[in-house]
Structure 1
Amino acid sequence: MEKMKNVIKKGNIKVHLICFDSLGAKSSSIFVETPDIKLLVDPGAAAMQPTYPLPLEEKERLKLKALQKISQYSEKARIIFISHYHNDHYTLASKIPEGFNYFYKNKIVWLKNPNKFINLTQWKRAREFCEEIYNNLRGEGKLYIRPHKIKVPSLEEELPFATSKDYGDYQERKKELLEKGRKRLSKLKELWENKRWVREFRFKKGRTIFVDGKQFSIGKTKIRFTFPHYHGIEYDRVGWVIGLIVEYDGKKLIYSSDIEGPQIEDYAEEVIRENPDILILDGFPTYLFGKMINRINMERAKNNIIRIVYGVKAHCVIIYDHHILREEKYKERFKEVYEKTGKRLMTVAEYMGEQSMIDKITKENVTKYST
Structure 2
Amino acid sequence: MKITPIASDSMGTRSMATFVETGDVRVLIDPSVALGPSRYRLPPHPLEQEKMEEDWERIVESAEKAELLVITHYHYDHHNPSDPEIFRDKKVFLKHPAVKINKSQRMRAKYFLEGIRDLPETLEYSDGQRFSFGETVLRFSPPVFHGTDSRLGYVTEVSIREGDDCFLFTSDVEGPNTTEQARFILKEDPTVLYLDGPLSYMLGYRYSQACLGTAIENMIRIIRETRVERFIIDHHFLRDLMWRERIQSVFEEA
Asked if TM exceeds 0.5, the reply is yes
2:6 match: secondary structure: strand
- The alignment yields a C-alpha RMSD, in angstroms, of 1.8
Question: Amino acid of the residue matched to residue 25 of structure 2?
Answer: I
Point out 4+ residue stretches in structure 1 off by more than 6 angstroms: none
Query: Larger deviation: 38-47 or 265-274?
Result: 265-274
Which one is further off, 303-312 or 331-340?
331-340
Question: What pairs up with 1:234-273 in 2 under 5 angstroms?
Answer: 235-273=149-187
Q: Using the alignment, how far apart are the partners of 2:38 and 2:252 within structure 1?
A: 30
- Which residue of structure 2 aligns with residue 327 of structure 1? 240
After superposition, give the CA deviation of every residue in 1:100-140 in whole Å (9 maximum; x if it has no partner).
Answer: x9311121111100011000000000011000111xxxx3x
How many angstroms does 1:229 deviate by?
0.7
Distance in structure 1 (CA, Å) of the matches to 2:88 and 2:221: 41
Decide which structure has the larger Cα Rg and report it: 1
Q: Percent identity?
A: 33
SS of equivalent to 1:32: strand
- Contact 1:324/1:330 (CA < 8 Å) preserved in 2? yes
Q: How does 1:171-210 map to 2 (within 5 A)?
A: 203=119, 206-210=121-125
CA distance in 2, matches of 1:60, 1:112: 28
Contact 2:36 2:44 survives alignment (8 Å): no
SS in 2 for 1:238: coil
2:69 to 77, 80, 89: 80
Equivalence for 1:302: 216
Q: What amino acid sits opposite 1:247 in the alignment?
A: R
Q: Is residue 22 of structure 1 aligned with residue 10 of structure 2?
A: yes
Unmatched segments (≥5 aa) in structure 2: none
What does 1:41-190 correspond to in 2, within 5 Å? Answer: 41-52=29-40, 55-92=44-81, 94=82, 96=83, 102-134=85-117, 139=118
Instruction: Give the aligned length.
Output: 253
TM-score between both structures, scaled by the size of structure 1? 0.65
Structure 1 residues 299 and 273 mapped into 2: Cα distance closer, same or farther (>3 Å)? same
Q: Deviation per CA, 1:140-167, whole angstroms, max 9, x where unpaired?
A: xxxxxxxxxxxxxxxxxxxxxxxxxxxx
* SS at 1:19 equivalent: coil
CA distance in 2, matches of 1:273, 1:126: 29
Secondary structure class of the residue paired with 2:78:
coil
Q: Hey, what does 1:34 align to over in structure 2?
A: 22
Deviates more, 1:205-214 or 1:14-23: 205-214
Question: What SS class does the counterpart of residue 22 from structure 1 fall into?
Answer: helix
Amino acid at match of 1:88: D
In structure 2, how many angstroms separate the alpha carbons of the residues matched to 1:260 and 1:115? 22
